[in-house]
Each structure stands twice: as structure tokens, then as C-alpha cells.
Amino acid sequence: MGKTLNIAPITRIEGHASVAIHLDDSGNVSDAKMHVLSLRGFEQFVLGRPVEEVPRIVPRICGICPWHHHLASNKAADACLGVELPPTGRKLRELCQMMAYIPDKILHFYFLAAPDFVLGPDADYSVRNVVGIVGANPELAKKVVHMRYKGQMLLEKFAGKVIHPIAGVVGGFSKPLLEDERKEILAGIQELKDFCVFTIKFAREEVFPKYLDAVKILGVFPSGYLGTVRPSDGALELYDGELRMMDKDGNFDQFTYPEYVDHIGEHTEPWSYLKFPYAKKHGALKLDENDPVGVYRANCLARINVCDKMATPLAQEELDIFRKEFGRPTHLTLLYHWARLIELVQACEKAEELLNDPEITGREHRAKNIQPRAGDGVGCVEAPRGTLIHHYKTDDNGLVTMANLIVGTTHNNAPMNLSVKQAAKALIKDGKYDQGILNRVEMAIRAYDP
């Protein structure tokens, strides 16, 4: 009789999941699966609510990336009610999107991912965490906590609430940006940018090289990728653009938000509450790590793969280094960590650019004369974990009659499962496993999150 290892909960990620690894009689892996253990029902309980209220409800899907849900939801609600945004309102929302990215990525890299790299995957669980990082490098740890906090507080001071935001409103933004506020935020962003440029250099030179061997074997398999690009030149977009679905060889389709239904299907497995999206053009989903069909990934590595270039200069320099080493598309799962930092640089540069745009302090931040109506709207943004798709329909009163949500983690459900299976099969042989090996299996999941 074989046995099952029940790894629960998956830690240092956001969300509730467990992994079951099944061993056969000789102690080799016969199967491994990631089970998502909760079903929360946002699609159901926004029904009947005024559509303009939904952006104040859906941020609770995720407290790590609430801004992205808030903004995608606002876009979908704008579309349902047929509202055009004044340029200032649009730019204020985009600024918040960039400012929300910065502390989130600092958190992920240093608190959630770095313990595996800095302390090593074999370190005991009691030290392999943020407290261990503090012990290993107290000065850096203090700086990290401070910079993340600073990023959060800049946004909070301006937008009122940083976790579960409220300042995006249908038609734009609830308040203008005053000149004094602009100056203060700009100074803060410049400091954060310096820290982020330091971070990617530090990671590139001192952290990743030690783990390149692991990068080449852990959770690796060919797949497609989904991300957003700027329509004019294919540059990586985090806020607004068109979606690109790439296949494993690098060919892609590019489409507008409402066309998502033609490109994405969702499949259900009996052992996870979470559905498994797949690329429709392949006709079906096959969860086979040696020969996957329909599997695509989202989140930073996907965006780095699908884009033709970065939208800002320092980020472009980093992409050049990355592409020279790994090509396009690259299927090495642990490179998510590297890709995450390239995007972090773009988010800082983009925030700076927006703050230097004279229109950002304009007084037309919100559209007027909005009326309820029956409508159908799809709103997307790129969240740290991947493309958010919010799709609502409304009745004549502007009340929601249908909501379909495909969020970052959902896109990555199939690839996370394949990564787990591939990593478990590669690492567990002849009944030999220990905490360090099982942690490496989890590392294959952690790469995708957030």
C-alpha cells in the first residue's frame, strides 16, 4: 500500500490550499494535486446590488491586491453604465494602480519568497521566515519593513483607505490630487524607486545566481501565457490595454476585454473548489505535465513573456538582461521572482511619470450626469497575480444581474497543479522525502503568488 502526504496549509501564500502527494508501493510519486479549499461566492452575492456599489464590495476577494479588484470592478461598472472618464480621473486611478503594486511586490519578494532563497529551502521552518530574515540581515529587514510601510501610507494618506479602497468611483475618482500632495507623493516614489532598483540588482547579483540549478528543474513545463500589452507598440501594461494569449511556442492572439469569452474556457475538477481556466483555441484542458494542453499562466512571468518590450527605460534595461539569459518565452517557473522585480521597476517609473503629468492635478476627476441603464461591461487590470477579469450585466435600474469573475489565482490553477506534480515527481524518489524536499514542492506554488 502506498501512502499520502498531506501538506496543509500551503504557507507563505495568500489563500487556502493544500497539497496531497500520493506515493506508490515503492515510494515514488504516482500523483500530486493542489486542492483549493474554499468557495466564497462573490459572483452570487453581488447580484441585485447597484452596480456602482460593487467596487466597494469585491476588494474583499483579496486583501493583498484589493486595489486591483477595486479598479477592474470600477471599469466594468463604468462600461455597464456607459460612462466615459475625464482624463484626470483615469490617470488618478492608474496612479493608484502603480502605487499599490510597489509595497505588494516588496512584501512578496522579501517576506514570502526570500526566506527560501536567503535562508535556503532546507532551513528549519522555525527560522525559514521573515523573522529569520530579520536575524540574517537586520539592517536590510528594517529597511524593507520601512519602505513597504511608506509605500502603503503614501497611498493611504491620499486615497483615504489603502486596504479595501474606496476612492475609485464609477465615472472616475472621488477627489482631485492637490499640488502639495503631488509633491509629497513624488518625493516618496523617488525614494521607493531607488530602493526597488537596489532590490533587483541585489537579487540579480547575490540571490538568484545561487539558485540557478533549482530554477532549471523546479516546476518547469511548457505552457501558454496571458497578459496585457499597450496596443500601439506591445509594451507591457499593468493598467489598461489589450489582452494577449500566447502559446508555448511564442505565437499569440491579441484581443479586447469583452472578447475574453472567445479565448478563455473554464473546466472543473472534482477535487478543487477552484475552476481551471484554459486557452479555448486548444479545445480542451489536459493536466499532463509532460504534454499539457490548453494550459496557460498569468502573473509577472506571463506578462514578461507576452510583451514586446517594457514601457519605461530602467525596466527595459532589466528586460534586456533577462531576455539575453533566458529568451522568450521562458518556461522556468522560479523566474517569476525575477520577472516580478522587473515589473516593480516599471511600476515605480510609471508612477513617477504620472505624477509629472500636469493633467494629474486637474479638477475634472469625475464624470457627471450618470444614469442607471441596462448594460454589459467587462473590466480588466493586471493584478500582481495575474489578469483580473470582472464582467457584469445590469438591468434598467443599474442593478447587477450577472457577474463572472476570473481572477489572478484562478488563471494559475492549472499551472500550479502541474508545477506541484512535476516538482514532486522530480524530487521524491524511492520513499525518500523530508521537510526540505517538501518545501521545494511548495516553492513551485509560491512562485505564482501573488
* Residues of this chain that bind ligand SF4 (CB under 6 A): 60, 63, 161
**Choosing among ligand SF4, other proteins, none, which partner's interface includes residue 12 (Cβ < 5 to 8 Å by kind)?**
other proteins
Contact range with other proteins by CB under 8 A, out of 88-96, 134-142, 207-215, 217-225: 134-142
Q: Which of 205, 270, 358, 396 binds other proteins (CB under 8 A)?
A: 270
Reading the block at residue 435, the C-alpha cell is 521537510
**Choosing among other proteins, ligand SF4, none, which partner's interface includes residue 217 (Cβ < 5 to 8 Å by kind)?**
none
Q: Which of 87, 370, 373, 401 binds other proteins (CB under 8 A)?
A: 370
**Choosing among other proteins, ligand SF4, none, which partner's interface includes residue 107 (Cβ < 5 to 8 Å by kind)?**
other proteins
Nearest residue to 342 via CA among 154, 208, 151, 149: 208
d(CA 159, CA 19): 39
For position 356 contacting other proteins by CB under 8 A, the verdict is no
Closest CB to ligand SF4 belongs to which residue? 60
d(CA 137, CA 148): 17
Burial class (CB in 10 A: 0-12, 13-18, 19+), 410: buried
Residue 87 C-beta-side C-alpha neighbours within 13 Å: 7
Q: What is the DSSP string of 49-102?
A: SBGGGGGGTGGGG-SSSHHHHHHHHHHHHHHHHTPPPPHHHHHHHHHHHHHHHH
Nearer to ligand SF4, 162 or 218 (CB): 162
Contact pattern from residue 64 through residue 93 relative to other proteins, giving x for each residue in contact according to CB under 8 A and a dash for the rest: x-x--------------x-x----------
Contact range with other proteins by CB under 8 A, out of 39-47, 201-209, 225-233, 302-310: 39-47
Contact range with other proteins by CB under 8 A, out of 90-98, 107-115, 339-347, 416-424: 107-115
For position 187 contacting other proteins by CB under 8 A, the verdict is no
Contact range with other proteins by CB under 8 A, out of 201-209, 225-233, 259-267, 319-327: 259-267
Segments in 226-331 forming alpha helices (H)? 260-263, 300-306, 313-326
Task: Kindly identify the residues of this chain, within the stretch 323-352, that bind other proteins according to CB under 8 A.
Answer: none
Residue with cell 512578496: 108
Reading the block at residue 316, the C-alpha cell is 527595459
Nearest residue to 302 via CA among 239, 263, 379, 248: 248
372 Cβ neighbours under 8 A, 6+ residues apart: 50, 81, 394, 396, 397, 398, 399
Reading the block at residue 382, the C-alpha cell is 493586471
Contact range with other proteins by CB under 8 A, out of 203-211, 292-300, 301-309, 364-372: 364-372
For position 97 contacting other proteins by CB under 8 A, the verdict is no
d(CA 370, CA 236): 32
Cβ 112 to other proteins shortest distance, Å: 8
Q: Which of 149, 313, 356, 431 binds other proteins (CB under 8 A)?
A: 149
Cβ 161 to ligand SF4 shortest distance, Å: 6
Nearer to other proteins, 164 or 309 (CB): 164
